Amino acid sequence: MKLRTLPLAFLLILGVALGAVSHANADYVLWAPTENGGDQTLFSFNLAPQICNMTADLYINASGYNQDTSSPGSALLLQMSAGQTYSAMDFSIVQQPDGSWSVYNTTNPASQQFLLSLGSTNQFGLYYYYAGTGLDQPTYTQQTYDQWLLNEGLCNPVLITDAAPTQEVGSVTPIPGTFLLFGSGLGGAIGFLRRFSC
């Protein structure tokens, strides 16, 4: 390879690398319920908290909203104290007549509690809140097709059933194809000019 082609190759690699890094920089994962019971307007999922090492709250948030305990797009799902065991909790996601989706706590069928409006999709985000340390994303380990363990590291897992991660979202911004070609395009332009320079 000629020495003058090295900078051109570097620019090509740089352009592609920048695009790849931008796509890899995801903030959080969206989840979607998998259990509809034959009704496309009613879905459900279940949370079974394990013993936690410290006080932790698990929040749900609507896609497109910031993960913030004071956000109108977030709601508390589970409130866990260190060393305590809890019964499983049931949640339903129901499509309203206007097409929007809402989340309800249906652990006690006689007193369903409205939690959150998700908007036009039944996808949702999950995050832990620890008093004094802020927000953290739960990692997840698959147990079966639609059963996962949520574990951020400070807290023992919460088992989520009848739901599955769908995609990573957040700071990922679609990168136009022209940007990905930036390095090669710039390299070609420099080579073209150098060919006709005196």
pLDDT value, residue 170: 56
In this structure, are residues 166 and 176 in contact, taking their beta carbons and an 8 Å threshold? no
List Cβ neighbours of 143 (8 Å cut-off, separation of 6 or more). Answer: 149, 159
3-class secondary structure per residue, the chain: CCCCHHHHHHHHHHHHHHHHHHHHCCCEEEEEECECCCCCCEEEEEEEECCCCCCEEEEEEECCCCCCCCCCCEEEEEEECCCCCCCCEEEEEEECCCCCEEEEECCCHHHCEEEEEEECCCCEEEEEEECCCEEECCEEEEEECCEEEEECCCCCCEEEECEEEEEEECCCCCCCHHHHCHHHHHHHHHHHHHHHCC
Distance in angstroms (rounded) separating the CA atoms of residues 117 and 94: 10
pLDDT value, residue 56: 84
pLDDT value, residue 189: 42
> pTM above the 0.75 mark?
no
pLDDT value, residue 169: 67
Phi-psi region of 113 (alpha: psi -120 to 50; beta: other; left: phi over 0): beta
In this structure, are residues 107 and 90 in contact, taking their beta carbons and an 8 Å threshold? yes
Please list the pLDDT of the chain residue by residue as tens digits (198 residues): 454 544 444 433 334 333 333 333 345 789 999 998 888 999 999 999 888 777 888 999 998 888 888 889 999 998 888 887 788 999 999 999 999 999 999 999 888 999 999 999 999 999 988 876 788 888 888 988 889 998 876 677 899 999 999 987 654 333 333 333 334 444 444 444 455 455
pLDDT value, residue 27: 57
pLDDT value, residue 131: 76
Distance in angstroms (rounded) separating the CA atoms of residues 2 and 10: 13
Beta pairing, strands 56-62 & 158-161: unpaired
Euclidean distance between the first and final Cα of the chain, in Å? 23
pLDDT value, residue 31: 93
Instruction: For residue 40, give both structure tokens.
Output: 């496309």
Residues of the chain with CATH 2.60.120: 27-171
Q: 27-171 has which fold?
A: Jelly Rolls (2.60.120)
Instruction: For residue 158, give both structure tokens.
Output: 């919460």
